[in-house]
Amino acid sequence: MKYKRVLLKLSGESLMGDKQFGIDNKRLSEYATDIKNIYDNDVEVAIVIGGGNIFRGVQAEEGGMDRTHGDYMGMLATMINSMALQAALESVGLQTRLMSAIEMKEISEPFIRRKAVRHLEKGRVVIFGAGTGNPFFTTDSAASLRAIEINADVILKGTRVDGIYSADPEKNKDAVKYDTITFDEIYEKGLKVMDMTAFTLCKENDLPIIVFDMDTKGNLSKLIAGGDIGTIVQN
């Protein structure tokens, strides 16, 4: 396999499936099966999942709530998704450990970098919950940070689109999909992959990002097997 250790970033919104809110069990179990497949191919898997299907920090601001307050609520939302994912992964026979950036001893381990790495070496799927534990950072930033900390080979950013396009493919029929693109080209063309904090962390630490469609079953396995899936961003 091309990648030995990956950090998979899942979107909270995708977990809704066809629902308007919350967690779609069918989608959850599809994710679990996809993850099991790559694990069975000897890939060490760490996961960060967003919380947008439950709560978004910006929503709170619109309602007059303090941004920091909303961001912490968002971090808690990621814990709900992380726990759901943990249960789904265990139901397909994987061993998992959930580590939280905000201490919640009764339901998760605290995030300790060396322990996280050890868990991966021992074959456990590690889920990092509660973002970075800090307001003003997105779950993409958490994914970048954790990926660098655990020395992941790549971030696999699961989205609803199948890669990065030159323009919005839904609005512009001439939009072309990139198979590979550099961090600098993304800056120059003003394309959006992740927020700048997350993006810069990856660039400066030479960590490639693959943006791919996670909602098509089997895509993750194809990508890991070296298939022509998604767009890779690298230096």
Q: Give the binding site for ligand GTP (CB under 6 A).
A: 97, 105-110, 118, 122
Q: Which helix (H) or strand (E) holds 157?
A: strand 154-159
Q: Which residue has the tokens 């954790």?
A: 146
Nearer to ligand GTP, 28 or 120 (CB): 120
- Return the bridge partners of 172, or none: none
Cα 136 to Cα 171: distance, rounded to the nearest angstrom? 30
Instruction: Report the run of H or E that residue 99 belongs to, with start and end.
Output: strand 96-100
Give the residue with the Cβ less far from ligand GTP, 109 or 153: 109
- Of the two residues 56 and 124, which places its CB atom closer to ligand GTP in the complex? 124
> Shortest distance, CB of residue 129 to ligand GTP, whole angstroms?
12
Least distance to ligand GTP, CB of residue 141, Å: 24
DSSP code for 218 = T
Q: Nearest approach, Cβ of 219 to ligand GTP (angstroms)? A: 29
Helix (H, G, I), strand (E, B) or coil at 198: helix
Distance CA 120, CA 210 (A): 21
Residue closer to ligand GTP (CB basis): 60 or 85 = 85
Please state the closest distance from residue 121 (CB atom) to ligand GTP, in A.
Answer: 9
CB of 69 to ligand GTP, least distance (A): 25
Q: Which is nearer to ligand GTP, 35 or 202 (CB)?
A: 35
Q: Which is nearer to ligand GTP, 37 or 96 (CB)?
A: 96
β-strands 44-49, 5-10 pairing:
parallel
From the CB of 153, what's the least distance to ligand GTP, in Å?
Answer: 22
Q: Which tokens sit at 111?
A: 């995030």
Q: Shortest distance, CB of residue 71 to ligand GTP, whole angstroms?
A: 24
Among left, alpha and beta (phi > 0; psi -120 to 50; other), residue 191 is beta
- The neighbour count for residue 189, using CB atoms within 10 Å, is 13
Dist CA 203 CA 183 (whole Å): 6
Compute the distance between CA of residue 99 and CA of residue 122 in angstroms, rounded to an integer.
15
- Residue nearest to ligand GTP as judged by C-beta position: 109
Q: In the complex with ligand GTP, which residue's Cβ is closer, 109 or 195?
A: 109
